[in-house]
Amino acid sequence: MNNRRIFLQKAGLSAMALSVPAFTPLSAMTNFSTNNQDTRTLRVAIMGLGSYGTRVAEAIQDCKRTKLVGVISGTPSKITAWQSKYNIPAKNCYNYENFDAIKDNPEIDAVYVITPNGLHKSQSIRVAQAGKHVICEKPMAVNALEAQEMVDACDKAGVKLLIGYRMHFEPNTLEIVRMRKAGELGTPLFFQGLSGFIIGDPTQWRLDKELAGGGAMMDIGIYSINGARYMLGEEPVWVTAQETKNNPEKFKEGVDETIQFQLGFPSGAVASCLSTYSMNNLDRFFLNGNKGFAELLPATGYGPIKGKTHKGPLDKPHTTHQTVQMDEMAAIIFDGKTPELPVDGREGLKDMKVIDAIFQAVRTGQKVKLDLV
């Protein structure tokens, strides 16, 4: 516990006084000529060198338009290991106190923030103020207020804010979205999202309210929230929710173990979802329309994603999700590409508003109205 608190304190420190030249606009750091579309490489520094940061780093090795060029970590030994493994120069390595100096590093275009949820807001804002694009892992913050601050800060700095919604680029997922838009399922009526697993180490940051902002809902339940929105193609207008906590010793106050929640949509469609840290084999999306259905099982794992519809199996080829995500984000940043499903900060903000409402519904036992439009 003490180590986590020390980490939080260090990560939130203001940068040490640095002698730096005047702010250089992002446009001056990067060549934005349309003549170079589809050729520029997105040069990324990863902040947070844990298990998921490692997964992203490995995936980037197969990217066509993204390159890992820098690291930001509070652990010197990790920095040294990554330098050696990925051939990262010392001048592109930073810690949590001094990374504001990336402002003067023209070799870094963007920073991918992959740290505990409770640190996302402060770190993302500092990256934006340094003039670099921000890619932030989901959930983007611990509540909607923080998420809005991140959006505003990136808008003010004139940089992109993208959220790590890797499923928004997954081929079988996009095929279901295509079918729904084309009317092949008829009128969408019902979505079910099951998201859960049995979490291990009770001392990990994901079970620390200060660092995680919650429990299972923040980590895994967000997939069902987001999935309900893009599968049904609408924004929910109300939510109800119920919490079950069987192990209060492991899941302390403010750290949810299991939450069932229901969403209502303007068309009359409904969603019924489960988020849990206490049950395995829960990774399923099911979409039902009056003319057909679609199912993903598994729906959000690292792949391959498998599924079927009333027309037969879904068999789109699998490519490592993070590889596809990072190259697509390069196209969004450099080419102005509009993805089929949004991955910007405002998309992340909508999910945070739903999570806030779910927690409110759990506390009050009441149906909570939503306004995401």
Give tens-digit pLDDT for 298-356.
999 999 999 999 999 999 999 999 999 999 999 999 999 999 999 999 999 999 999 99
pLDDT of 296 over the 60 cut: yes
Quote the CA–CA distance of 362 and 221 in Å, as a whole number. Answer: 14
The predicted structure's pLDDT at residue 2: 46
The predicted structure's pLDDT at residue 27: 38
Give tens-digit pLDDT for 131-144.
999 999 999 999 99
* Inter-residue contact 141 to 347 (CB < 8 Å): no
- Residues with catalytic roles: 138, 223
Assign 3-state DSSP to the chain and report helix, strand, coil percentages, each to 5: 40, 20, 40
* Inter-residue contact 190 to 288 (CB < 8 Å): yes
The predicted structure's pLDDT at residue 112: 99
User: Which stretches of the chain are assigned E, i.e. beta strand?
Assistant: 42-47, 66-72, 93-94, 110-113, 133-136, 161-163, 188-196, 238-244, 258-264, 270-276, 282-289, 293-296, 307-309, 312-314, 368-369
CATH for the stretch 2-13+22-166:
3.40.50.720
Quote the CA–CA distance of 19 and 94 in Å, as a whole number. Answer: 16
Give tens-digit pLDDT for 174-190.
999 999 999 999 999 99
The predicted structure's pLDDT at residue 34: 41
pLDDT of 24 over the 70 cut: no
Average pLDDT over residues 33-47: 77
When pLDDT is cut at 50, 70 and 90, the band that residue 38 belongs to is low
Point out which residues pair with 71 in neighbouring strands: 46, 93
Average pLDDT over residues 261-265: 99
pLDDT of 274 over the 60 cut: yes
The predicted structure's pLDDT at residue 31: 39
Question: 167-318+342-369: which CATH number, 3.30.360.10, 3.10.310.30, 3.30.70.890, 3.40.50.720?
Answer: 3.30.360.10
Give tens-digit pLDDT for 83-128.
999 999 999 999 999 999 999 999 999 999 999 999 999 999 999 9
pLDDT of 172 over the 90 cut: yes
Q: What is the pTM of this model?
A: 0.90
Instruction: Count Cα atoms within 13 angstroms, Cβ side, for 370.
Output: 31
- Domain ranges within the chain, ordered by starting residue: 2-13+22-166, 167-318+342-369
Is 2-13+22-166's fold the same as 167-318+342-369's? no
> How confident is the prediction for the chain on average, in pLDDT?
92
Give tens-digit pLDDT for 142-153.
999 999 999 999
When pLDDT is cut at 50, 70 and 90, the band that residue 37 belongs to is low
Give tens-digit pLDDT for 41-73.
999 999 999 999 999 999 999 999 999 999 999
CA 19 to chain centre: 34
Quote the CA–CA distance of 338 and 58 in Å, as a whole number. Answer: 26
